[in-house]
Amino acid sequence: MAVPKKRTGHSAQGHRRSNWKATKPETTKCPNCGATVLTHTVCTACGTYKGQPVSLKDKKEEVAAEEVKPAKKSSSKKAEKEAPKAEEVKAEVVEETKEAEVEEKASETEEK
């Protein structure tokens, strides 16, 4: 193994390291939201890469946007009409239980 005979001086060491420096990272603007982003990386603000959703943050926004859009005229509307919504079912169950409670109270008062 090679061992130096003498120490390298400060000047020679500085000359050797003169081109060893940090460079500025390349940045671009996100096409979706306009935020400054490192090139070839996912946008931290909206979660997209090359205009397509990648992270969960953007997928949630996309799902919310799809819910706002009106449904297409297809068999999905038929399915919606046939299958009652969960909210409607809950409301019906609550009404039935209230009616049953009222009937029980009425029968108790009649017995007394």
Q: How far apart are CA 56 and CA 42, in angstroms?
A: 12
How many DSSP H helices and E strands does the chain contain? 4, 4
Q: Quick check: helix, strand or coil at residue 29?
A: strand
**Distance from CA of residue 90 to its chain's centroid?**
29
User: Among residues of the chain, what percentage have pLDDT more than 70?
Assistant: 68
Mean pLDDT (the chain) is 79
Cβ atoms within 10 Å, residue 37:
21
pLDDT band at 39 (very low <50, low <70, confident <90, very high): very high
- Report the alpha-carbon angle 97-98-99, nearest 5: 90
Sign of CA dihedral 56, 61, 65, 67: positive
Q: How far apart are CA 74 and CA 80, in angstroms?
A: 11
* Greater pLDDT, 10 or 72: 10
pLDDT digits (tens, 9 = 90+) for 85-110: 666 766 777 777 778 788 877 877 77
Per-residue model confidence (pLDDT) at position 73: 56
Is 12:23 a contact under the CB 8 Å cutoff? no
Q: If you average pLDDT over each of 9-18, 46-55, 89-98, which comes out highest?
A: 9-18
Phi, psi of 10, deg, nearest 5: -65, -40
* Greater pLDDT, 30 or 68: 30
Six-digit token string for 68: 């706002």
